[in-house]
Structures are given as structure tokens and as C-alpha cells.
Structure 1
Amino acid sequence: MSSDTASGRNDVADWWRTSIIDMEPGRIAFRGTEIQDLIGKVSFPEMIWRMTRTDIPTPGQTRLLEAALVAAVDHGPQAPSIATARMAVTCGLPLNNAMASAVNTLGDVHGGAGEQAVELYAHVESYDGPVSAALDAWIAARGKIIPGFGHRFHKPVDPRAPRLLALVEEARQQGACDGCHAAIATAIEAELADRKGTPVPMNIDGATAVIFAELGFAAPLARGIFCLSRSVGILAHAWEQMQQGGRNKGPTPPAYRWTYDGD
């Protein structure tokens, strides 16, 4: 084989580079572990960790990640992502297209607060000053909306957040995390209540962000993992709508009309 041919083949082989999977006929390995040694032995949350990280989680870390995944699966058809999935099915789309349409609505406003809350906790952690000053600096740079706190529907408390924080505390006591970010989130919650004169409790995004931060996930992965979690609800609603039937269902019943404010 000529050197030019060998070089060309290397150019092709090196076009994509990955440390995630090694595969050849009759063999599949993820991060150095054969697939047959993972199947039936590793949970799906642990597999998510192994695929997105280079380390292997402890059982306590896996349980905490699983709790975050379970907590965020669904929030009903009033959530844009869920409504999109159901509407897509009534337009004749199969499940995969409905799911893709729905996941694509998970952006900075709907679905992005968890990532932003992880960034907020990191900001407060690294800030040279009290939580109040760190929060002022955040607001000056990012705006008045504080990600992960308050909820337009669940008042006075998002029922998911206290349970998740309790599990974080259990994990801290068992050595699965150090509780640093849970303490930061609680301090932010207290500061917001002091400023508003009324409780501004942590919501699902703030609580799952505590878990992702405690487990050492990078902020963008918080959104990615939320998408994995919410995909379960999206699939369930798309499938349910498929069983119910219906054609071309829009966001409101046909008898209702939008407000026209033109001339």
C-alpha cells in the first residue's frame, strides 16, 4: 500500500473522532466497556452519565440523577412542548416527528431555566461577596428574571422541589454530593423572599439544577438531560392523542377566535 493511500484512509478514519464508542463487526464498546457487560447490569440513568461523562457514577449519584429525570417528565398539555406533540399527531405526524417537533420548542424560555439556574449557582459560588451582591450582579448582567425560582402555576410551592431537595440532603449525608449548591439555592430563595416580602420558592428547574450542579454536570447538559426527561412525557401524550384521534387540532377549539388588532 502506498503512503498516499494509507494517508487517505487515515484522513477518512479520522474524519470523526470519539472516545464514546468503539465498534467493529461483532463488537460494540462504550467508553471501553463491552455492551454485553452493560446490558442488564447498568440502569438507564447510569448509562446517560457514562455516555455524557468520562467517569462512572456511584449508586448514590445514579439515584439522584434518576430522581431529577423522573421529576421533570411532564407538565401537561398547557406546556408548549406537550401541546406541540399532541397537535403534531393530529396533523398526521408519526411519533418520532411529533417528538422532534415538541423537543424543538425547548429553548431558553421553555426548557432552558435549568441550564440557566446551574449558571446562576456557579455565579454565586464564584462571586466575591454576599449572595445579595451576587444576585445584583446577575440581574445587572442577565435581567430581572431569576431562573429556577417562582412558578406561574404552582403557588405557593412547586411540589416537586421540596422532595428533590430532601433527596439531595439524603445524598449529602451518604457522601454522594457535598450540598454546596443546595445551600446556594436555599440562600437565593431566602434572599428573594426578603426582597419581595413574600416567598418565591424554588421550582422544578431550580431543584433539578441543584442536582445537576451537585453531580458536576456542565450547565448545557442540564438542558440536554431535561430534554431526555421531558421526552418521556412528550411520547406519552403523543401516543395518547394518537389513540384518541382528532384531526388538525389547533391550540384552541375552533369556536374560539384570536384577537385581531389590525385596522
Structure 2
Amino acid sequence: MSEWKTAITDDKDGGGRIRGYKIEELIGGRSFAETAWLLLRGELPEKNQAALFDAMLVAVADHGIAVPSATAARIVASGGNSVNAAVSAGVLAAGDFHGGAIEGCMRMLAAAAQAPGDAKTVATEVVEQTEAAGIRILGYGHKIFEIDPRTTRLFALARELGINGKHMAIAEEVARALSARKGRPLPLNVDGAIAALLLETGFPPETGKAVFLIGRIAGICAHVVEERSREKPFRRLGEDEYRYDGPPPRDLPSK
């Protein structure tokens, strides 16, 4: 087998080192959020970056039982499967429309930030071009919120911490332009907000889904533990929760 290489963790040096730092020194010396940043980025974050990254992870920790990751995890747990199997199902349920919007929005904002013009001009062009191409802009709109309170808090915290750049400005202007064009509120949701903030703190787009999963897996685990500890096994839909819409009863024709 060919040689495997990693620049993340050296397990051959006593207790091990993450990106060169002794694990026993990181224990109690840095938070989980800072260590996750270190694992992904290779360097420790500045204090303001660490505080904002921790807030991002909190923002995506859970969003109730009705979202795909929680529902999938609980259904698999209800079938009598192990914790790791149920949690894996929840992770697999996170896709382009559930958590994965962060990466897509990051790519859009990163490209937009390279365009000439102020944030409002660039945002208007983004909305016009994507609509003409029939492309959905990820990171905007919400089934419940007209203004996503998580976005409001994250952006306020970022500015308190001195983080307030072009990606944030474009993200906000896209929400305004998109809402005006559609004639209804299409807010910057938590995925879009995190996309902008990850770019402001130097993360590449390919880390978007990973950051979502680092935060959300805590919530998925909680749903699995709760399902296994207090719910009856074998969940199934009630008869009032589904309907058949196929062919009516019919006789099988003779051969």
C-alpha cells in the first residue's frame, strides 16, 4: 500500500501533536472551537476570530426535530440501530438544501467580492444574473423567519469583534435586492450569514459543509440519545399523515 500522508496530527510523538501543538497543552489551554479551527486551518485563531467561530457553531447546533438531519437520525434510532448508525443517518441527511447551502453561498460571495463596484451594485448584478440563468441563490429565504434572528445576532457580534468586510456587505445587499425583485421577504438565513463570516475570517468555500457538521452533530447526537431513551421503538407515520395517490383497486388480468 502506498504511503499515507497527513499534516493534521502526529501520533508518533508521545501524546500526539495537532498541527504541531501538544494535545495535552491544548486540553484546558484552548476551547473546542479553537481546536476545530486549528484542525481545519492549520493555525490557531485570533481571539476575535475564535469568539465568532464559536458563535457560528452554536448558531447551527440544532434547529428542532422537523429538519432532515434530526428526523433521519431519530427514525434510524427508532428502528433499533446503534448511536453511531443513527448519527450517521443524520449526517447523511445534510445536503445542498440543509447545511450545504453554506458552501454554495460562499462560492457566490467570493466571486462577487472580486467584481468591481460597491456592495449594492455588485449585489444587484448577482441577483439579475442568477435569475436570468435560472439559478437559485443559496443562503437566502426561510420557511419560518422573515428576518433570521441568528443572522442578526451573528452579524452584530462580528461587528462588535471588529469583523465587518465586503462579504458581509454584499450578503446583506443581495438579501435586499432579492426581496425587492421577488416582492416578498427573502432574508439572509443562518447558512448565508455563516458563509459570509467564514469568508471574512479566511475560510475557503470547501470548508462550508464541514463547519456546519461540526456544529450540528452535537444536536444530532442529542436527538438520537433522546429518541433512544424516552421514545417507543419503531416510529411510523399515522394514517392521517400520508395518503395513497396511485391507481385505484383493479383486477390482475389473466395471462
* Fold shared, TM-score > 0.5 on shorter chain: yes
Number of residue pairs matched by the alignment: 244
* Matched-pair contact (CA < 8 Å) for 1:193–1:199: yes
Match of 2:159?
169
> Which whole-Å CA distance do the structure 2 matches of 1:75 and 1:115 have between them?
19
Q: What's the % identity of the aligned pairs?
A: 35
Match of 2:253?
none
> Which whole-Å CA distance do the structure 1 matches of 2:238 and 2:61 have between them?
26
> Which whole-Å CA distance do the structure 2 matches of 1:259 and 1:170 have between them?
54
Instruction: Specify the code of the residue in structure 2 equivalent to 1:137.
Output: Q
Instruction: Specify the code of the residue in structure 2 equivalent to 1:79.
Output: V
* Matched-pair contact (CA < 8 Å) for 2:127–2:178: no
Aligned to 2:16, what secondary structure does the other structure show?
Answer: strand
Q: What TM-score do you get using the length of structure 2 for normalisation? A: 0.89
Which residues of 2 match residues 97-108 of structure 1 at below 5 A?
Answer: 97-108=85-96
> Which whole-Å CA distance do the structure 1 matches of 2:107 and 2:148 have between them?
21
Match of 2:38?
50
> Which whole-Å CA distance do the structure 2 matches of 1:233 and 1:151 have between them?
20
Match of 2:125?
133
Deviations 1:130-164 (A, max 9, x none): 322233333445x342211111122x222211011
Match of 1:4?
none
Instruction: Specify the code of the residue in structure 1 equivalent to 2:49.
Output: Q
* Matched-pair contact (CA < 8 Å) for 2:126–2:174: no
Change (3 A) 1:197 1:34: same
> Which whole-Å CA distance do the structure 2 matches of 1:180 and 1:128 have between them?
12
Match of 1:21?
9
Deviations 1:15-39 (A, max 9, x none): 1111111122633111111111111
Instruction: Specify the code of the residue in structure 1 equivalent to 2:160.
Output: E
Change (3 A) 1:257 1:199: closer
> Which whole-Å CA distance do the structure 1 matches of 2:188 and 2:158 have between them?
14
Following TM superposition, the consecutive aligned residue runs of length 4 or more in structure 1 with deviations greater than 6 angstroms are none
Q: What TM-score do you get using the length of structure 1 for normalisation? A: 0.86
* Matched-pair contact (CA < 8 Å) for 1:168–1:179: no
* Matched-pair contact (CA < 8 Å) for 1:120–1:138: no
Which residues of 2 match residues 144-163 of structure 1 at below 5 A?
Answer: 144-154=135-145, 156-163=146-153
Instruction: Specify the code of the residue in structure 2 equivalent to 1:166.
Output: A
Which residues of 2 match residues 108-127 of structure 1 at below 5 A?
Answer: 108-127=96-115
> CA offset at residue 199 of structure 1?
3.0
Structure 2: where are the runs of 5+ without partners?
249-255
Instruction: Specify the code of the residue in structure 1 equivalent to 2:183.
Output: G
Match of 1:227?
213
> In the alignment, does 2:81 pair up with 1:89?
no
* Matched-pair contact (CA < 8 Å) for 1:89–1:95: yes
> Which whole-Å CA distance do the structure 2 matches of 1:258 and 1:117 have between them?
36
Give the one of 231, 243, 249 matched to 1:258.
243
Q: RMSD in angstroms over aligned alpha carbons? A: 1.9
> Which whole-Å CA distance do the structure 2 matches of 1:123 and 1:140 have between them?
17
Instruction: Specify the code of the residue in structure 2 equivalent to 1:190.
Output: R
Structure 1: where are the runs of 5+ without partners?
1-11
